[in-house]
């Protein structure tokens, strides 16, 4: 039971947020956005944290799903119930493809980074270039396409909460099964993992595909929720950098790190919002400082504090136990 | 047709100037510098500020190049120190993230401080006829500067002892260390030189068109693409790749539009990594 206590606590707190927001649309939107980033960060944790694949195209994966879902719904008059799964499948397929090709060609972290960054830019230029479908820089209105639930603040919050819980559930399933063991082994040392009989290719592609599906699902729903899809909604600076920072803040390779990290990042972003353009500077500073001094993240620190508290309680118990033991002959 | 070709070469030389710095820093320092375009921008901004003070344009340009070099020096001696503590993949990853963060730092500051900035040396220069094609002297001058910088770089690498030691480190860092070469000091020198070359690219950009503070990421990406296509360890390859991609870019922009041109360049880089990771023009070794 204890194993799920943290997830249960987080779920409870997140489920109560709409009540705390008191119907303020501003706070509801903020909270919903935080949920979106949490799920994205959970996905990135799988790709980058556990299987060490540097994907610099989170925006393009989420955006491919988002644009496909909206453009197909507009052009072919399909229901979002059809187009969203299509978008998710496309994102998952692309993620799996990048992962497979990188393993096949033995690309190191840098080259996979360059390939995915190139893909991110190709996506951006495609969206701008295919003006007749995407309406270029201005973007498309994604309201009134048959997803009315995502046009109301409170239901959309719970939809994104459900997606987040599904992502966390998938993460837990993966990590507590054989694949979790494989992830741990290959993130320590890929060659050793391969030599001890782990199919490294399979598990890396699996992680990339599952994570890309999460990225895509969230991206597609976000496209409908946001009301507008434009290149700036799915920009590199708007998605990849915040997710990277949130993951570092929370703690890589931890279950709750992405959730806590995204909350922390949302708070920081609210703080720097009045500074306008300078927020980019703060992102840069955060990246540098976090990567040089705080690579563990918050979760290990919290766990350490928790354990110390536990020990102290145990120490307080010990004299009485000793007393009790002395009395029994 | 020939005019387009010339335009391509002019643009290509600028790209090579940026890319060769990325190649040198990667080959020597083991760091993929994602803030390289920002060095160019800092150089351009410094030159523009000096111009505003009423300083002679040539001195201002030199000052801009110097400012970029100093920034490179500072980055090497402070920001990259944690990365240099590691080797191999770990250093690459840390260097990548640190320079990415630094590029945001520079971009954020410059866009906030100089929002409507553009550097442009307003030189009233006549057109000249070259092989029957009208050329703007400014583009010609920019290309000549680039060629001169490359000539000096090649002479330095081939003829001086320091240059030879630099090439030896690119070949094999441990081997060079065993021969008594201090990689750390050479690395600092290279980052300094590479940043200055980026500064030259930034300042000359202001010579034949204009330079804005928002162009940093674009410079970085284009330089990176050229470096990748040329082979991230080969200087000759980078020069050739820059000219090749410059020509491809100009022709593609002219015939199929800027977006498709960019996509073609990106696909070039992707294909190179997947098919010939050592560079499209790398020797078979």
In tens, the pLDDT along B162-172 reads 888 888 887 77
Confidence of residue A307 (pLDDT cuts 50, 70, 90): confident
Average pLDDT over residues A55-74: 96
In a domain, B55, yes or no: yes
B163's CB contacts (< 8 A; 6+ apart) are B156, B157
In a domain, B280, yes or no: no
Least confident of A52-66, A246-260, B131-145: B131-145
In a domain, B145, yes or no: yes
Chain B touched by A108 (CB under 8 Å): yes
Chain B touched by A281 (CB under 8 Å): yes
Phi-psi region of B181 (alpha: psi -120 to 50; beta: other; left: phi over 0): beta
Q: H or E stretch including B127?
A: strand B127-130
What is the predicted pLDDT for the residue at A25?
Answer: 87
Tokens coding B194: 């590479």
User: Distance between CA atoms of A98 and A209, rounded to whole angstroms?
Assistant: 9
Tokens coding B247: 């020509």
Q: Which of A3, A112, A104 is nearest to A47 (CA)?
A: A112
* pLDDT tens for each residue of A224-268: 999 999 999 999 999 999 999 999 999 999 999 999 999 999 999
Q: Which of B146, B167, B147 is nearest to B156 (CA)?
A: B167
| Residues of chain A positioned with their CB less than 8 A from the CB of B267 | 118, 122
Query: What is the domain count for chain B?
Result: 1
Selecting from B104, B260, B273 the residue whose C-beta is nearest the C-beta of A283 gives B104
Query: Highest mean pLDDT range out of A135-149, A252-266, B202-216?
Result: A252-266
Average pLDDT over residues A290-307: 86
Q: Is the pLDDT of residue B145 over 80?
A: yes
Q: Is the pLDDT of residue B264 over 70?
A: yes
B 64-83 → A contacts, CB under 8 A: 79, 82
Confidence of residue B120 (pLDDT cuts 50, 70, 90): low
DSSP character at residue B86? S
Q: Quick one: what percent of chain A has pLDDT higher than 90?
A: 65
Residue range of the domain that includes B193: 16-217
| Residues of chain B positioned with their CB less than 8 A from the CB of A114 | 32, 224, 228, 269, 273
In a domain, B277, yes or no: no
Q: Which residue has the higher pLDDT, A187 or A163?
A: A163
In a domain, A168, yes or no: yes
What is the predicted pLDDT for the residue at B221?
Answer: 93
Tokens coding A89: 């499948």
In a domain, A49, yes or no: yes
Only one residue has tokens 């387009």, namely: B4
In a domain, B178, yes or no: yes
Mean residue pLDDT across chain A? 90
Q: H or E stretch including B47?
A: helix B36-52
What is the predicted pLDDT for the residue at B54?
Answer: 83
Burial class (CB in 10 A: 0-12, 13-18, 19+), B5: middle
B117-143 burial, b at 16+ Cβ within 10 Å, e below that, comes to bebbbeeeeeeeeeeeeebbbbbbbbb
Q: Are A219 and A87 in contact (CB under 8 A)?
A: yes
In a domain, B195, yes or no: yes
Q: Is the pLDDT of residue B91 over 70?
A: yes
User: Distance between CA atoms of B50 and B63, rounded to whole angstroms?
Assistant: 8
Q: Which of A328, A71, A109, A329 is nearest to A224 (CA)?
A: A71
Tokens coding A210: 């599952």
Torsion of Cα atoms, B142 then B18 then B211 then A241, to 10°: 170
The CA-to-CA distance between both ends of chain B, in Å, stands at: 37
- Work out the minimum CA distance from B209 to partner chain A, whole angstroms: 23
What is the pTM for the complete model shown? 0.90
What is the predicted pLDDT for the residue at B285?
Answer: 37
Angle at A122 between CA A116 and CA A124, to 5 degrees: 110
Q: Which of A160, A281, A136 is nearest to A220 (CA)?
A: A160
Average pLDDT over residues A109-137: 92
Chain B touched by A191 (CB under 8 Å): no
What is the predicted pLDDT for the residue at B32?
Answer: 92
What is the predicted pLDDT for the residue at A310?
Answer: 81
In a domain, A287, yes or no: no
In a domain, A266, yes or no: no
Only one residue has tokens 């010579």, namely: B207
Quick one: closest CA in A to B82, which residue?
A292
Task: For residue B263, count other CB atoms closer than 10 A to its CB.
Answer: 22
* pLDDT tens for each residue of B12-47: 999 999 999 999 999 888 899 999 999 999 999 998
Burial class (CB in 10 A: 0-12, 13-18, 19+), A315: exposed
Q: Are B227 and B19 in contact (CB under 8 A)?
A: yes
Selecting from A111, A277, A284 the residue whose C-beta is nearest the C-beta of B102 gives A284
Confidence of residue A319 (pLDDT cuts 50, 70, 90): low
3-state secondary structure B172-214: CHHHHHHCCCCHHHHHHHHHHHHHHHHHHHHHHHHHHCCECHH
Q: Are B133 and B64 in contact (CB under 8 A)?
A: no
Query: What is the domain count for chain A?
Result: 1
Tokens coding A76: 């072919």
What is the predicted pLDDT for the residue at B233?
Answer: 76
Q: Which of B30, B274, B236 is nearest to A114 (CA)?
A: B274
Average pLDDT over residues A77-99: 95
* pLDDT tens for each residue of B226-250: 999 988 778 888 999 999 999 999 9
What is the predicted pLDDT for the residue at B284?
Answer: 43
Q: Which of B163, B202, B188, B160 is nearest to B44 (CA)?
A: B202
Torsion of Cα atoms, A120 then A122 then A128 then A130, to 10°: -130
What is the predicted pLDDT for the residue at A327?
Answer: 62
Average pLDDT over residues A117-129: 94
Q: Quick one: what percent of chain B has pLDDT higher than 90?
A: 46
- φ, ψ at A193 (rounded to 5°): -60, -45
Give the β-pairing of B127-130 and A228-229: unpaired
What is the predicted pLDDT for the residue at B131?
Answer: 60
Residue range of the domain that includes A213: 9-235
Average pLDDT over residues B68-82: 94
In a domain, B99, yes or no: yes
Q: Which long-range contacts (CB under 8 A, 24 or more apart) does B142-148 make?
A: B142/B10, B142/B13, B142/B14, B142/B204, B142/B205, B142/B207, B142/B208, B143/B9, B143/B10, B143/B13, B145/B200, B145/B204, B146/B13, B146/B14, B146/B16, B146/B17, B146/B200, B146/B201, B146/B204, B147/B13
DSSP character at residue A229? E
Selecting from A105, A110, A277 the residue whose C-beta is nearest the C-beta of B111 gives A277
- φ, ψ at A141 (rounded to 5°): -85, 125
Q: Which residue has the higher pLDDT, A23 or A254?
A: A254
In a domain, B8, yes or no: no
Chain B touched by A285 (CB under 8 Å): yes
What is the predicted pLDDT for the residue at A274?
Answer: 85
What is the predicted pLDDT for the residue at A322?
Answer: 58
Q: Which of B229, B223, B231 is nearest to B170 (CA)?
A: B231
Tokens coding A187: 């993130």
- Work out the minimum CA distance from B225 to partner chain A, whole angstroms: 9
């Amino acid at each position: 039971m204890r194993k799920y206590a943290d997830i249960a606590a987080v779920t409870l707190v997140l489920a109560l947020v709409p009540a705390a927001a008191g119907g303020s649309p501003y706070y509801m939107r903020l909270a919903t956005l935080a949920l979106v980033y949490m799920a994205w960060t959970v996905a990135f944790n799988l790709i980058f944290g556990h299987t060490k694949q540097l994907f610099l195209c989170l925006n393009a994966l989420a955006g491919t799903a988002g644009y496909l879902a909206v453009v197909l719904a507009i052009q072919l008059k399909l229901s979002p119930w059809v187009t969203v799964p299509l978008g998710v499948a496309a994102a998952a397929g692309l993620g799996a493809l990048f992962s497979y090709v990188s393993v096949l060609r033995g690309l190191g972290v840098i080259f996979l980074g360059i390939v995915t960054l190139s893909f991110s830019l190709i996506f951006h230029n495609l969206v701008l270039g295919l003006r007749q479908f995407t309406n270029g820089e201005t973007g498309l209105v994604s309201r009134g396409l048959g997803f009315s639930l995502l046009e109301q603040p409170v239901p959309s919050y719970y939809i994104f909460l459900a997606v987040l819980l599904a992502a966390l559930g998938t993460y837990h399933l993966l990590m507590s099964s054989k694949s979790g063991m494989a992830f741990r082994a290959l993130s320590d040392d890929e060659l050793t993992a391969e030599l001890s009989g782990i199919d490294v290719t399979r598990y890396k592609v699996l992680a990339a595909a599952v994570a890309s599906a999460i990225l895509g699902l969230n991206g597609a729903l976000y496209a409908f929720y946001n009301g507008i899809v434009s290149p700036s909604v799915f920009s590199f600076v708007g998605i990849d950098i915040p997710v990277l920072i949130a993951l570092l803040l929370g703690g890589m390779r931890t279950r709750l790190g992405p959730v806590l990290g995204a909350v922390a990042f949302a708070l920081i972003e609210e703080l720097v919002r009045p500074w306008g353009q300078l927020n980019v500077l703060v992102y840069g500073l955060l990246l540098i400082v976090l990567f040089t001094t705080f690579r563990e993240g918050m979760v290990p620190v919290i766990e350490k504090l928790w354990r110390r508290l536990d020990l102290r309680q145990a120490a307080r118990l010990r004299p009485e136990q000793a007393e009790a033991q002395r009395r029994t002959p | 047709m020939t005019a387009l070709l010339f335009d391509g070469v002019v643009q290509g030389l600028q790209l090579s100037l940026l890319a060769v710095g990325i190649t040198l820093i990667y080959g020597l320092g083991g760091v993929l510098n994602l803030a390289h375009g920002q060095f160019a921008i800092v150089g351009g901004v410094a030159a523009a500020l000096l111009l505003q003070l009423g300083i002679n344009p040539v001195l201002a340009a030199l000052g801009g190049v110097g400012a970029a070099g100093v920034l490179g020096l500072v980055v090497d001696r402070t920001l990259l120190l944690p990365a240099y503590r590691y080797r191999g993949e770990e250093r690459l990853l840390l260097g990548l993230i640190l320079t990415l963060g630094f590029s945001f730092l520079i971009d954020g500051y410059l866009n906030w401080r100089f929002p409507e900035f553009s550097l442009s040396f307003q030189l009233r220069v006549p057109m000249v006829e070259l092989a029957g094609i009208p050329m703007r002297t400014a583009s010609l001058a920019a290309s000549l500067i680039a060629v001169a910088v490359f000539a000096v770089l090649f002479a330095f690498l081939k003829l001086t002892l320091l240059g030879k030691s630099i090439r030896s480190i690119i070949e094999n860092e441990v081997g060079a260390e065993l021969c008594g070469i201090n990689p750390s000091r050479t690395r600092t020198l290279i980052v300094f030189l590479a940043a200055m070359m980026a500064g030259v690219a930034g300042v000359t950009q202001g010579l034949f068109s204009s330079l804005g503070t928002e162009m940093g990421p674009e410079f970085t990406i284009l330089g990176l693409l050229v470096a990748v296509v040329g082979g991230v360890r080969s200087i000759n390859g980078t020069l050739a790749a820059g000219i090749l991609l410059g020509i491809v870019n100009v022709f593609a922009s002219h015939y199929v539009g800027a977006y498709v041109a960019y996509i073609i360049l990106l696909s070039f880089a992707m294909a190179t990594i997947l098919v010939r990771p050592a560079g499209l023009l790398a020797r078979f070794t």
